Structure 1
Amino acid sequence: MPMDNEPNPEPQPAPPTPPSLSWLTRWNRIPLYTRIVVAMILGIVVGLVLGERAIMFALPSEIILRLLGALAPPLILVAVAHVMITTDIPGRKAARLAWLLVLNTTVAVVIGLTVANVMSPGTWSKLDAPAEENVEEKGEGAGQKTPLEVLVENVPHSIIGPLGDQQNIIGVILIAVAFGIAMRGVKDRPVATVTDLVEIAYQTLLTVLHWIIQLVPIGVFCIVAKVVGTEGFEPFKAMAAFVLAVLVALALQATWYLVRIRLFSWPRPWYVLVGVRDALVMAFSTASSTATMPVTYACLKDNVKLREQSASLGSLVGANFNNDGTALYEAMAALFVAQLLGQDLSFVQQLMVVFTAIIASVGAAGIPEAGLVTMTLVFNAVGLPPQYIILLFTVDWFLDRCRTTINVLGDVNVSCLLDGRTQASAT
């Protein structure tokens, strides 16, 4: 029996309650492609309900595309500078590496344009081309604009543009606020070298890009609601043809890689595919060639048994410049939208697409959603309305994985070609 004077045990403190997550944190934890699919479904429902009144959703998607377009040039500039500063390329193989990368990307864009011209997926349905904006009319009717329309007009088309325009003070303020908030995370970081400066600029731009990417599902919702409400489901008939055309083009690009491996390197194509299957699966599942780089390197070195220098040059160095699948996709997307709007791109314009896609793809491999950013440059180069880029996001979550796989296979191709026709002797 317990004694009456025995002290009572002290009560144990309750375990701490985990902090509840905000709705924004929970939303951001959902994969981007899932959010895009949900936004697309909701957009279809709202478009069917509102009908022609869904035209009001055109403005939010325009804001998002303007933000992407404004960020694209400085991001590509800093990304390429960052790659050139931080990448160590041996002098003897630098020229051969550069030649292989340029050749593969050029072939990819040519394949993409050829398939898009032959299959013509955009001719399956038509969209009305957007009316050209008249600057004088905009000035006369400025008093009748809604506050949202005024805000859209002041969202900068480029980051540098508003700095030289004394009338667009709102644009300057938007840029200052965005980059001021983004740089708070690196405000105490010392800048001792030029590399440090470029690194800080790169990380700041990536932070701002991450914020814009979070808005993409909203843009998808708005453009789908607007298209379904005003055009019906006719434009989406062409999307299936576009997906098929892109898959055919990517398959042809993969064939190019494997044929080159068979003719100009010692390992056989099937042996290479089996050896790098883990890297290809990871590329498809993550949609990130940057995250796949160490896996690609390990597969090439340990499974395929390439020389260490060849494996590192192709998978680590080349991956920073090699974005063949993205360049192919952007070229096809430009031609597809032109066909959808009934616009014919001349041979010179298609050459401009080739040149812009090649330049935009250099150094973009390390940028999240690289195709999302650089596609605005390709569209603007040939005068295509960039607002239809968001329409492509309805299928981009799947095609992004496919083209990332091709990007990684392109890295594998470069490594094998650099290794040559003779296998390294076993030690």
Structure 2
Amino acid sequence: MSSHGNSLFLRESGQRLGRVGWLQRLQESLQQRALRTRLRLQTMTREHVLRFLRRNAFILLTVSAVVIGVSLAFALRPYQLTYRQIKYFSFPGELLMRMLQMLVLPLIVSSLVTGMASLDNKATGRMGMRAAVYYMVTTVIAVFIGILMVTIIHPGKGSKEGLHREGRIETIPTADAFMDLVRNMFPPNLVEACFKQFKTQYSTRLVTRTIVRTENGSEPGTSMPPPSSMDNGTSLLENVTWALGTLQEVLSFEETVPVPGSANGINALGLVVFSVAFGLVIGGMKHKGRVLRDFFDSLNEAIMRMVGIIIWYAPVGILFLIAGKILEMEDMAVLGGQLGMYTLTVIVGLFLHAGGVLPLIYFLITHRNPFPFIGGMLQALITAMGTSSSSATLPITFRCLEEGLGVDRRITRFVLPVGATVNMDGTALYEALAAIFIAQVNNYELNLGQITTISITATAASIGAAGIPQAGLVTMVIVLTSVGLPTEDITLIIAVDWFLDRLRTMTNVLGDSIGAAVIEHLSQRELELQEAELTLPSLGKPYKSLMAQEKGASRGRGGNESAM
């Protein structure tokens, strides 16, 4: 059956419908859906309800965990728990973070190597180009939305004196941050890259310089002994007199110099670069590389089965993660005034991008309703809100896309690890918006050139954020430095950053997921051509087809059992 029947814009034959035609098809589709819903309600039984609860157990438990966590946190705030008590309370949430982070490293490596090895270089190049264009377009749109929102709402109106400062900011030169990014792309030790990143440190050294001055204060060479027009005795006397009149001044001062250092954390960017290159080499080895392909495919399958176990603990961990963060807030009043307007501006911008732009891109390219797709990603989005980490959410994102929405595994294995590393729509929007907010509270008028500089810098900084240690802080410093804004004013927005970081992560995860679906739709031809050439049995057909076969087989077994 043709897939064009699911499109609003195409006929069964693949010809494009006119405006009247697709409006009529939309009306018919809505009527059919309303009729099906009415019939379901009329024929609903207890067995149907139980089946629905079993099918959506993960999502229902996760949503319930968020509601219970928020309610529990506000119920406990009047008791003013100590820092130690809050840490004890948050311990179950910390366990979830550690479980997910435990799986991130093998998942990134195995999925990227398998995904690259399963496609030929030509197909990989086309998909990579589509992914790069998608990432760049969505990031630029996100930056534009952030600038538009902060300009319209103008949350920085007034003085910054009433704003609460929190923490201390270390100024990092932009050139050093950029060089750290490039260095981390090529780790000298793969084992060390699993737990460390290169980070430039700074030390001071004592510099001593000797300055020679003459008696009258001039530099040496400006006052020389007179020519020896007299006899040798007189000339010698003049030379001695000049030498005694020369002063030597020793100056000592401290100089800050960059030195090699490191920061704890997975060097995700370096591992992504290595895994992509390694997978391409294995794919080029054809039959000789089959053993390695089988190994990484089996490793990926084993990791995903572990995700299936850990996912049952996710609602408990999310509950305590969210509740613990709310309890850590010392003063809820900081959300009022200018900071409250700033928070609202960021929320509106993220909502427009995640709820408007990304679904519109999905609809325009695939001609399908984006909201059922977003509903299928609900558990990954809630996990992103709880963990505030795209990388930690990666195992859940894989599961939602592959098992829930049937996206081809060759696409998810290629797109998701790269997207979680370089595609940061929410971060780009936030950084551009925050930079202009800081300019507003300082009564600093930005011209068009400076706004353009902020746009370019925020886009570039968000793309390279995963390769920079302490990315959220460093990238914001880079954006502010590019237009001469005071970097110490980042302390004005740290008080609400923990909350906005969770919303940014949700936007980043949704952008990666929609990107995977869009690239799959655009790459159907390459995927079909690859089906006959693939040597991996588990990758011989799109994952969607494998899921359909497994469901058909399970229904067949169920029918045989009932017949018996």
Q: TM-score range, shorter-chain basis?
A: 0.5 to 0.7
Distance of aligned partners of 1:305 and 1:271 in 2 relative to their CA distance in 1, 3 Å threshold: same
Matches within 5 A, 1:105-184: 105-123=139-157, 125-127=158-160, 159=200, 166=207, 169=254, 171-172=256-257, 179=261
- The residue number in structure 1 matching 2:413 is 312
Q: TM-score, structure 2 length as denominator?
A: 0.44
Distance of aligned partners of 1:234 and 1:270 in 2 relative to their CA distance in 1, 3 Å threshold: closer
- The residue number in structure 1 matching 2:504 is 403
- The residue number in structure 2 matching 1:391 is 492
1:118-150 deviation line (CA, Å, top 9, x unaligned): 111111x2137xxxxxxxxxxxxxxxxxxxxxx
Conserved? CA contact 1:127–1:342, under 8 Å: no
Distance of aligned partners of 1:163 and 1:295 in 2 relative to their CA distance in 1, 3 Å threshold: same
**Which of 90, 96, 104 is equivalent to 2:130?**
96
Letter matched to residue 143 of structure 2 = V
- The residue number in structure 2 matching 1:329 is 430
- The residue number in structure 1 matching 2:394 is 293
- The residue number in structure 2 matching 1:282 is 383
Does residue 279 of structure 2 align to residue 245 of structure 1? no
Matches within 5 A, 1:195-210: none
Conserved? CA contact 1:353–1:382, under 8 Å: yes
1:356-392 deviation line (CA, Å, top 9, x unaligned): 1111111324767532221000000011101010111
- What is the deviation of 1:351? 0.7
Matches within 5 A, 1:14-25: none
- The residue number in structure 1 matching 2:363 is 262
* Cα RMSD for the two superposed structures: 4.3
**Cα separation, 1, equivalents of 2:435 and 2:206:** 30
Distance of aligned partners of 1:170 and 1:243 in 2 relative to their CA distance in 1, 3 Å threshold: same
SS of equivalent to 1:345 = coil
**Cα separation, 1, equivalents of 2:256 and 2:448:** 37
1:179-205 deviation line (CA, Å, top 9, x unaligned): 48x69x99xxxxxxx969xxxxxxxxx
**Cα separation, 2, equivalents of 1:121 and 1:25:** 36
Moved more, 415-424 or 284-293: 415-424
Conserved? CA contact 2:205–2:256, under 8 Å: no
Identity of aligned residues (%): 33
- What is the deviation of 1:406? 0.2
Question: Whose strand proportion is higher, 1 or 2?
Answer: 2
1:52-93 deviation line (CA, Å, top 9, x unaligned): xxxxxxxxxxxxxxxxxxxxxxxxxxxxxx99xx88762221
Distance of aligned partners of 1:165 and 1:378 in 2 relative to their CA distance in 1, 3 Å threshold: farther
Matches within 5 A, 1:361-380: 361-365=462-466, 370-380=471-481
- What is the deviation of 1:314? 2.9
**Cα separation, 1, equivalents of 2:172 and 2:125:** 42
- The residue number in structure 2 matching 1:76 is none
- The residue number in structure 2 matching 1:353 is 454
**Cα separation, 2, equivalents of 1:242 and 1:257:** 23
Letter matched to residue 247 of structure 1 = I
1:244-281 deviation line (CA, Å, top 9, x unaligned): 11111001101111111122126531221121111101
- The residue number in structure 2 matching 1:417 is 518
Q: Gaps (5+ residues) in structure 2?
A: 1-81, 92-107, 117-123, 162-167, 177-199, 208-251, 267-272, 276-328, 525-541, 550-564
Q: TM-score, structure 1 length as denominator?
A: 0.58
**Cα separation, 2, equivalents of 1:306 and 1:372:** 35
**Cα separation, 1, equivalents of 2:130 and 2:393:** 23
**Cα separation, 1, equivalents of 2:407 and 2:341:** 39
Conserved? CA contact 1:310–1:418, under 8 Å: yes
Conserved? CA contact 1:294–1:316, under 8 Å: no
Distance of aligned partners of 1:118 and 1:164 in 2 relative to their CA distance in 1, 3 Å threshold: farther
Conserved? CA contact 1:100–1:414, under 8 Å: yes
Letter matched to residue 502 of structure 2 = R
1:16-67 deviation line (CA, Å, top 9, x unaligned): xxxxxxx9999988879xxxxxxxxxxxxxxxxxxxxxxxxxxxxxxxxxxx
- What is the deviation of 1:307? 1.0
Conserved? CA contact 2:386–2:502, under 8 Å: yes
- What is the deviation of 1:237? 1.6
Look at both structures and tell me which one has the larger radius of gyration over its CA atoms: 2
Distance of aligned partners of 1:389 and 1:94 in 2 relative to their CA distance in 1, 3 Å threshold: same
**Cα separation, 1, equivalents of 2:493 and 2:448:** 24
- What is the deviation of 1:419? 1.4
**Cα separation, 2, equivalents of 1:303 and 1:162:** 52
Letter matched to residue 397 of structure 1 = W
Distance of aligned partners of 1:301 and 1:383 in 2 relative to their CA distance in 1, 3 Å threshold: same
**Cα separation, 2, equivalents of 1:287 and 1:28:** 18
- What is the deviation of 1:306? 0.9
1:197-251 deviation line (CA, Å, top 9, x unaligned): xxxxxxxxxxxxxxxxxxxxxxxx9xx99xxxxxxx9996211111111111001
Q: Gaps (5+ residues) in structure 1?
A: 1-22, 33-81, 129-151, 187-193, 197-220, 226-232
**Cα separation, 1, equivalents of 2:172 and 2:504:** 30
Distance of aligned partners of 1:314 and 1:267 in 2 relative to their CA distance in 1, 3 Å threshold: farther
SS of equivalent to 1:344 = coil
- What is the deviation of 1:396? 0.5
**Cα separation, 1, equivalents of 2:464 and 2:521:** 25
**Cα separation, 2, equivalents of 1:29 and 1:291:** 22
Letter matched to residue 344 of structure 2 = L
